[in-house]
């Protein structure tokens, strides 16, 4: 009787549309009734597990749900206790679960309908070592035979690489310019433009004021000029012949 009742409620919930909010209320009510009738036992885990449905409203997980991944925060004492715990036959599963927390993150799912938060631990992705990646890259590359190079050939190749590539001149266009009627002197124009030489003046400009205040230096210079003028006037008066 209970199985038929649960099946009837599930069929009604499946017929209702998922886009309408009022239909979602009815669907959650019918699915919650299925749980109350069976007391949580006998229902298929694939359809009624925490991963597939919200444990509060019993609606399916959708793309609208918010998902957050956070690290599990454990104190130093908790980590020491988990590492130092000795596995026994009775508490073996519990100890394994606790040890898994050391290398796992916490996945938080927020339901878009009832805003319920469900937290489940998830193992962290293992970081591949650099050596393995290097070995895989070498294995994927095709095997090629390495040709033996002579030492003389290697020296020649290096010399060619070091020499600067000069700009090439098109002889045909330059010859056409020579035999043109406008060109009286039959002179080729310089197609290669040489960069102008820039002479850098490394000499530093002398500081007139030697790092001192500009106003103070100018004032002292004016005083010196005035003193010299007064001294010259006195000498002229002394040396002036008496009339």
pLDDT for residue 147: 47
Instruction: Judge whether 24 lies within some domain.
Output: yes
Instruction: Judge whether 207 lies within some domain.
Output: no
DSSP-assigned letters across all residues of 107-135: EEEE-TTT--EEEEEEEPPPPPPHHHHHH
Angle CA 239–241–242, to nearest 5:
125
Q: Which of 11, 36, 61 is the last residue of a domain?
A: 61
pLDDT for residue 110: 92
pLDDT for residue 169: 52
Count: domains in the chain: 2
Instruction: Judge whether 145 lies within some domain.
Output: no
Backbone angles phi, psi at 147, to 5 degrees: -80, 140
Structure tokens belonging to residue 132: 């393995």
Instruction: Judge whether 204 lies within some domain.
Output: no
Q: Do 70 and 51 belong together in one domain?
A: no
pLDDT for residue 217: 76
Q: Do 66 and 113 belong together in one domain?
A: yes
Structure tokens belonging to residue 185: 């002197």
| 42-86 pLDDT tens trace | 788 878 888 888 888 989 888 888 888 888 888 888 888 888 877
Instruction: Judge whether 117 lies within some domain.
Output: yes
123 DSSP β-pair partners: 104
- Nearest CA to 50 out of 116, 99, 141, 123 is that of 116
Per-residue pLDDT of the chain (243 residues; tens, 9 = 90+): 688 888 888 888 888 888 888 898 999 999 888 888 888 777 888 788 888 888 889 898 888 888 888 888 888 888 888 888 777 767 777 777 777 788 888 889 999 999 999 888 888 877 665 567 667 766 665 544 444 555 555 555 666 655 555 555 554 555 555 555 555 555 555 555 667 777 766 555 555 666 667 777 788 888 888 777 776 666 666 666 655
Instruction: Please state the pTM of the whole predicted model.
Output: 0.44
How many other CB atoms are found less than 10 A from the CB of residue 177? 14
Instruction: Judge whether 94 lies within some domain.
Output: yes
pLDDT for residue 143: 47
Q: Do 73 and 104 belong together in one domain?
A: yes
CA torsion sign for 134, 136, 139, 140 is: negative
Residue 54, Cβ density class (10 Å: 0-12 exposed, 13-18 middle, ≥19 buried) = buried
Q: Which domain holds residue 97?
A: 62-126
pLDDT for residue 103: 81
* Residue 17 · residue 23 · CB < 8 Å: yes
* Residue 95 · residue 87 · CB < 8 Å: yes
The Cα–Cα gap between 25 and 11 comes to: 15
Q: Do 90 and 120 belong together in one domain?
A: yes
pLDDT for residue 133: 64
Q: Do 66 and 56 belong together in one domain?
A: no
107 DSSP β-pair partners: 69, 120
Q: Which of 10, 39, 61 is the last residue of a domain?
A: 61
The kind and range of the H/E element at 34 are: helix 21-38
Instruction: Judge whether 228 lies within some domain.
Output: no
Instruction: Judge whether 49 lies within some domain.
Output: yes
Strand pairing report for 117-123 and 104-110: antiparallel
């Amino acid at each position: 009787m209970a199985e038929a009742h649960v099946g009837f409620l599930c069929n009604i919930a499946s017929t209702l549309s998922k886009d309408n909010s009022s239909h979602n209320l009815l669907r959650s009510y019918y699915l919650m009734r299925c749980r109350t009738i069976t007391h949580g036992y006998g229902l298929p885990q694939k359809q009624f597990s925490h991963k597939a449905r919200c444990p509060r409203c019993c609606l399916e997980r959708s793309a609208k749900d918010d998902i957050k991944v956070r690290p599990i925060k454990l104190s130093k004492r908790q980590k020491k206790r988990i590492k130092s715990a000795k596995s026994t036959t009775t508490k073996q599963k519990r100890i394994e679960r606790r040890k898994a927390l050391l290398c796992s993150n916490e996945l938080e799912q927020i339901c878009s309908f009832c805003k319920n938060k469900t937290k489940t631990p998830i193992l962290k992705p293992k970081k591949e070592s650099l050596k393995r990646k290097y070995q895989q890259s070498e294995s994927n590359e095709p095997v090629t035979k390495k040709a033996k190079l002579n030492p003389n050939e290697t020296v020649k190749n290096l010399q060619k690489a070091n020499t600067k590539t000069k700009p090439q001149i098109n002889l045909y266009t330059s010859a056409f310019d020579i035999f043109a009627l406008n060109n009286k002197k039959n002179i080729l124009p310089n197609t290669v433009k040489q960069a102008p030489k820039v002479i850098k003046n490394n000499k530093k400009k002398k500081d007139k004021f030697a790092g001192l205040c500009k106003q103070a230096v100018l004032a002292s210079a004016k005083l010196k000029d005035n003193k010299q003028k007064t001294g010259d006037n006195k000498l002229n008066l002394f040396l002036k012949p008496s009339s």
